[in-house]
Chain A
Amino acid sequence: MSAQSHVVVDVMLKPEILDPQGRAVVAALGRLHVDGVVDVRQGKRFEITLEGEVTEDRLAELHRMAAELLSNPVIENYVLHIQS
């Protein structure tokens, strides 16, 4: 069986974009009697499994995938991590 690679893409709303879901979480933390949390930002994490190694071509394809489908560059940033 050929080896598999694992890649994680984290997608977050850009810092300047309001995150009302994160704000709602902050409000709920107060009801959990947790103090001192001033901000929560909520994002998405994609765990991707690939056949074989992450070659340079593959990496370019992953970036295209992250930029064109997994995130919307108008409102979101992504970070791509290759898991060892």
Chain B
Amino acid sequence: MSSHRVGIVTFPGSLDDQDAARAVRIAGSEPVHLWHADTDLRHVDAVILPGGFSYGDYLRCGAIARFAPVMESIVDRAHTGLPVLGICNGFQILCEAGLLPGALTRNDHLHFICRDQSLRIESTSTVWTSDFNQGQEIIIPLKNGEGGYIADEATLDELENSGRIVARYVGTNPNGSRRDIAGIANPAGNVVGLMPHPEHAVENMFGPGTDGLAFFTSILRTFSRA
């Protein structure tokens, strides 16, 4: 068992925490379950905020989870370099918490979507995407009702110019996201938000393949540098 510990937060209403833990294990790290009401991060080397419907999506997606005790510790540590990956609802929480700019809004066509989605990896300079090739196209599941990424034009330009757009949708834009954005990073590249679900594509027997695995192996490089 690897000595690298990756925390996975469970909020009331999280759905994909078990899949995220499985993906972490398959990638070679030790998954550590973190509870929303704890402030202790249990000496983890990275944190994943999984998908689901934390607090029933009450108020706005991620708006209540942002105030969970565990988030205080995560926000603090994220500012000093802790790798944090927010998937789907986790992405929404990172935006609400101010760790990432912008917001996720209701899909422009109103439908919940659930399908295998083509993405293009636009940045390999984040700690969560270093195992991909620049411009690599991958297919992983996408399932959301409020996945439309939105930010003002100045923020979008800044994301674009500073290479902080991590992944874009390929083909038809599935939810009205500005500039086809599927994922973004903070300036340091340790915090990444991603609307599609790499944790559902880590084994050949389930889902569309293993294209999601590299998100979870990428952080191993960060650990080996430390």
Chain A residues near B (Cβ < 8 Å): 17-18, 20-21, 24, 69-70, 72, 74-75
Q: How far is A11 from B100 in the complex, measured between Cα atoms in Å? A: 22
Contact A69 B150 (CB under 8 A): no
B109 — nearest CB in chain A belongs to which residue? A20
- Would you give the shortest CB distance from A1 to chain B, in whole angstroms? 30
Contact B105 A75 (CB under 8 A): yes
In the assembled complex, which residues on chain B have CB atoms less than 8 Å from the CB atom of A20? Answer: 106-110, 176
Question: Is B163's CB within 8 Å of the partner chain A?
Answer: no
Chain B residues near A (Cβ < 8 Å): 59-60, 63, 67, 95-96, 101-103, 105-110, 150-151, 176
Q: How far is A70 from B59 in the complex, measured between Cα atoms in Å? A: 7
In the assembled complex, which residues on chain B have CB atoms less than 8 Å from the CB atom of A17? Answer: 105, 150
With A17-B150, A18-B176 in contact, do A72 and B106 touch (Cβ < 8 Å)? no
- Would you give the shortest CB distance from A54 to chain B, in whole angstroms? 23
Query: Which of B63, B67, B105 is the most central at the interface, judged by chain A CB atoms within 10 Å of its CB?
Result: B105
In the assembled complex, which residues on chain B have CB atoms less than 8 Å from the CB atom of A21? Answer: 106, 110
In the assembled complex, which residues on chain A have CB atoms less than 8 Å from the CB atom of B108? Answer: 18, 20
- Would you give the shortest CB distance from A16 to chain B, in whole angstroms? 9
